[in-house]
């Protein structure tokens, strides 16, 4: 559409691809969806196989592999211990200061068993929710896997969130145990985490125990009978390196992950052991063309769904070697990533358009200083990638030979929904076509497909094994948010707008709801606005997303002041810091604009669309619902 030239994969890529052809297999996968997924599920181990591939008797609460007994750890660790994979590196980790740690699958198992035993000794049981608030260190992965192993659900909260945001998530999940570290390294500085957790614990009546991993040696406050150092617990006799994996039902909860929506506080999506195992491992293996000898680097943070599915679970189920890096891409110099790709011989790099644009800014001389020819495949996720960044990534990082997998998906979908395969001819900026089994469409408000090249709402018409099981303890909200609009048809509303071109390729445009993607991070306007109005100067406020060359979008906030307050640069700065304090640095607004009143519809809804049009000088569109 925007760009008509195709980029074709090399013969070498085609010859070695795990999946050599798309059209016929896609046709089979949608006509025989349950058979297709059952065949994929056969690649995994199960304590007991399913009675029913898909129970769709109670939509939208679909149950995959119903009747099966499994645990994601059975496939991510246990089965590898019985094969030569046992001796393979599971994790290669580099800290920002340059320290290196590696773990074979054998060593990973010992770490996870030990952590699991520690959690058990702290009273954690099957079904409990454990909150994890950590820097990107191996213990973050061990903690997640340890929870899964004993049947507890993890709720990982991204380390860029504030103590208040952390406390909200702890309280909503009724979590009693939090795992953290004293701090982490970022851009040469020590980021204090335990201090933030301490503040959050004061706001959390349910919180009883905090386990702290020593990473930086920062001096932190520890309270008797509440705070434990991880290394002290490891030294206790009950922290053995052996632990049985808990047998779970396929549809038992594996984790909660909070994500922002249109309204109110972030909600926790629930993912389960069975379907999620099958979906993440299948998508990872097919899309990134995983080979046993590959070293795979997903440069996301485990605190987001991308990290859950493609740093941790998908790759470990596939027995891959994963690379993980703690810190900033440009520390100490802008060649840090390229240096590590060279040093460790990374074969696949999966990152976000914001990261690519950020590194592109420093120029080609930085990657040119290193041999990055080990790279075979590249990936992009989190926001639309502009063709200019795509082409730079392809030419400079991929040496014109690495296919770029632009994967479109969401926290709710568990794994890739629209994505190329290595053999797919690519168009820069398009995520190309639906993954196997998925039927999608671009429709209008009434559910009619829009014409080729026209913008519409992106919907998913069929169930898939990675779909979240629901919103934690709030089934109504799940229905309301995703299924209400096309209830008659039974379709899932993605919240994104898209176009489909004459070749059937999808082009994602962006969110249609009040979700803002800043540097690929997902935030809700409602959260930003409620942080704003917690400041005494603010009557009401509206947050909107404005296109930004580096971050994709930037947050701009309109604010109405109480009578006694006056607009000033100082107040603007104070409000920006106020939002950071309440939500965390990722929610920092670029600008706060003071305004006399907010435009609203007659039913009282803020017209953010109009604010945005005015700020950007765009046509104001239909104003018939605007209040006088």
Nearest distance from C-beta of residue 208 to ligand WTA, angstroms: 30
Binding ligand WTA by CB under 6 A: which of 496, 514, 527, 529? Answer: 496
Cis peptide before 332 (omega within 30 of 0): yes
**611 CB-near residues (< 8 Å, 6+ apart):** 542, 544, 558, 598, 599
Applying CB under 6 A, among 267, 285, 357, 517 the residue interacting with ligand WTA is 517
Query: In the 8-state DSSP scheme, what is residue 51?
Result: S
Q: Which residue's CB is nearer to ligand WTA, number 63 or number 522?
A: 522
Nearest to 171 by CA among 126, 204, 141: 204
The one among 495, 524, 584, 599 contacting ligand WTA by CB under 6 A: 495
Nearer to ligand WTA, 135 or 384 (CB): 384
Return d(Cα 282, Cα 416) in angstroms, integer.
Answer: 10
Does 508 bind ligand WTA (CB under 6 A)? Our answer is yes
Residue 408 CB, shortest distance to ligand WTA, in Å, is 4
Rounded to a whole number of angstroms, the minimum distance from the CB of residue 515 to ligand WTA is 7
Smaller CB separation from ligand WTA, 151 or 415:
415
H-helix or E-strand containing 456? strand 456-460
Q: Which of 477/600 has CB closer to ligand WTA?
A: 477
CB of 256 to ligand WTA, least distance (A): 14
Q: How far is the CB of 406 from ligand WTA (least distance, A)?
A: 5
The least distance separating ligand WTA from the CB of residue 380, rounded to whole angstroms, comes to 6
Three-class DSSP category at 396: helix
SS3 state at 473 = coil
**Residues 45-64: x where in contact with ligand WTA by CB under 6 A, - otherwise, as a string:** --------------------
Q: How far is the CB of 512 from ligand WTA (least distance, A)?
A: 9
The full DSSP string for 87-98 is GSEEEEEE-TTS
Residue 506 or 558: the one with the smaller Cβ distance to ligand WTA is: 506
Contact mark string toward ligand WTA, 518..537, x via CB under 6 A:
----x---------------
Number of residues that bind ligand WTA (CB under 6 A): 22
Query: CA-CA distances (angstroms) from residue 526 to 26, 47, 57, 543?
Result: 39, 44, 34, 8
Identity of the residue, 325 or 408, whose beta carbon is nearer to ligand WTA in the bound complex:
408
Q: How far is CA 433 from CA 87, 119, 409, in A?
A: 37, 43, 12
Residue 334 CA, chain-centre distance (Å), reads 25
Radius of gyration of the chain (CA): 24
Nearest to 347 by CA among 331, 369, 324, 323: 323
Cβ distance to ligand WTA smaller for residue 65 or 521: 521
Find the helix or strand (DSSP H, E) in which 266 lies.
Answer: none
Kind and range of the H or E run holding 477: helix 475-478
In whole angstroms, how close is the CB of 322 to ligand WTA at the nearest point?
A: 18
Helices (H), 334-459: 336-344, 353-360, 365-368, 387-392
Please answer whether residues 372 and 347 qualify as being in contact, where contact means their C-beta atoms are separated by less than 8 angstroms.
no
Least distance to ligand WTA, CB of residue 264, Å? 17
User: Which token pair is 170?
Assistant: 């702890």
Region 284-323 residues binding ligand WTA, contact defined as CB under 6 A: 304-306
Least distance in Å: CB of 522 to ligand WTA?
4
- Nearer to ligand WTA by C-beta: 115 or 478? 478
Query: Which residue of the chain is nearest ligand WTA when measured via CB?
Result: 411
Rounded Cα gap, residues 477 and 481, in angstroms: 6
Q: Exposed, middle or buried by CB within 10 Å (0-12, 13-18, 19+), for 64?
A: buried
Q: Which is nearer to ligand WTA, 73 or 544 (CB)?
A: 544
Residue numbers 475-494 binding ligand WTA by CB under 6 A: 494
Site for ligand WTA in 204-233 (CB under 6 A): none
- For CA atoms 438, 442, 446, 450, the dihedral sign is negative
Cα–Cα dist 236/104, whole Å: 24
Residue 455 or 572 with smaller CB distance to ligand WTA? 455
Least distance between ligand WTA and beta carbon 304 (Å): 6
**Binding-site member from 180, 198, 259, 280 for ligand WTA (CB under 6 A):** 259
In the list 33, 511, 551, 608, the residue contacting ligand WTA (rule: CB under 6 A) is 511
Rounded Cα distance between 152 and 253, Å, is: 8
> Which tokens belong to 104?
């074979």
Of residues 371 through 410, those in contact with ligand WTA by CB under 6 A are 381-384, 406-410
Whole-number minimum distance, CB 286 to ligand WTA, in Å?
16
Q: Which is nearer to ligand WTA, 204 or 306 (CB)?
A: 306
> Which residues contribute to the site for ligand WTA (CB under 6 A)?
259, 304-306, 381-384, 406-411, 431, 494-496, 508, 511, 517, 522
């Amino acid at each position: 559409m925007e760009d008509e030239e195709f980029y074709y994969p090399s013969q070498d890529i085609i010859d070695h691809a795990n999946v050599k052809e798309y059209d016929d297999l896609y046709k089979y996968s949608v006509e025989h969806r349950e058979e297709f997924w059952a065949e994929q599920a056969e690649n995994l181990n199960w304590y007991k196989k399913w009675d029913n591939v898909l129970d769709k008797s109670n939509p939208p609460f679909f149950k995959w592999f119903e009747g099966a007994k499994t645990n994601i750890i059975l496939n991510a660790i246990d089965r590898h211990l019985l094969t030569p994979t046992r001796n393979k590196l599971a994790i290669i980790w580099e800290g920002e200061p340059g320290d290196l740690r590696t773990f074979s699958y054998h060593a990973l198992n010992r770490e996870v068993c030990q952590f699991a035993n520690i959690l058990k000794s702290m009273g954690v049981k099957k079904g409990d929710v454990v909150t994890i608030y950590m820097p990107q260190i191996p213990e973050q992965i061990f903690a997640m896997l340890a929870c899964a192993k004993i049947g507890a659900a993890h709720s990982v909260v991204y380390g860029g969130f504030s103590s208040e945001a952390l406390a909200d998530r702890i309280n909503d999940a009724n979590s009693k145990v939090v795992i953290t570290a004293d701090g982490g390294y970022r851009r040469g500085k020590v980021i204090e985490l335990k201090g933030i957790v301490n503040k959050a614990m004061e706001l959390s009546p349910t919180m009883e125990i905090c386990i702290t991993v020593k990473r930086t040696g920062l001096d932190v406050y520890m309270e008797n009978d509440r705070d434990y150092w991880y290394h002290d617990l490891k030294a206790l006799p009950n922290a053995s390196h052996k632990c049985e994996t808990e047998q779970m039902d396929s549809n038992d909860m594996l984790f909660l992950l909070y994500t922002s929506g249109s309204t109110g506080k972030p909600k926790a999506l629930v993912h389960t052991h069975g379907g999620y195992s099958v979906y993440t491992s299948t998508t990872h293996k097919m899309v990134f063309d995983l080979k046993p000898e590959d070293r795979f680097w997903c440069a996301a943070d485990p605190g987001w769904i991308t990290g859950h599915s493609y740093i941790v679970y998908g790759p470990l189920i596939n027995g891959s070697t994963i690379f993980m890096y703690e810190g900033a891409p440009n520390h100490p110099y802008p060649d840090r990533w390229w240096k590590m790709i060279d040093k460790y011989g990374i074969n696949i790099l999966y990152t976000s358009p914001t990261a690519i644009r950020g590194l592109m800014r420093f120029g080609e001389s930085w990657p040119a200083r290193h041999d990055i020819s080990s790279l075979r495949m590249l990936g992009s996720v989190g926001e639309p990638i502009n063709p200019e960044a795509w082409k730079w990534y392809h030419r400079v990082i991929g040496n014109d030979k690495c296919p770029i997998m632009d994967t479109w998906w969401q926290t709710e979908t568990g794994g890739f929904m629209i994505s190329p395969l290595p053999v797919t001819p690519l168009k820069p900026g398009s995520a190309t076509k639906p993954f196997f089994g998925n039927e999608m469409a671009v429709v209008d408000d009434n559910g009619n497909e829009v014409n080729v090249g026209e913008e519409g709402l992106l919907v998913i018409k069929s169930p898939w094994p990675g779909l979240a099981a629901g919103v934690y303890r709030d089934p109504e909200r799940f229905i309301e948010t995703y299924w209400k609009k096309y209830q008659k048809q039974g379709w899932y509303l993605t919240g994104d707008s898209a176009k489909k071109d004459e070749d059937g390729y999808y082009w994602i445009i962006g969110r249609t709801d009040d979700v803002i993607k800043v540097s690929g991070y997902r935030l809700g306007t409602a959260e930003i606005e409620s942080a704003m109005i917690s400041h005494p100067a603010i009557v009401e406020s509206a947050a909107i997303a404005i296109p930004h060359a580096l971050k994709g979008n930037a947050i701009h906030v309109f604010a109405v002041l109480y009578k006694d307050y006056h607009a000033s640069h100082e107040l603007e700065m104070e409000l920006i810091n106020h939002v950071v304090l309440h939500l965390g640095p990722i929610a920092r607004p670029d600008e706060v604009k003071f305004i006399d009143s907010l435009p609203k519809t007659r039913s009282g809804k803020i017209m953010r669309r109009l604010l945005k049009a005015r700020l950007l000088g765009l046509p104001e569109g239909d104003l018939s619902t605007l209040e006088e």
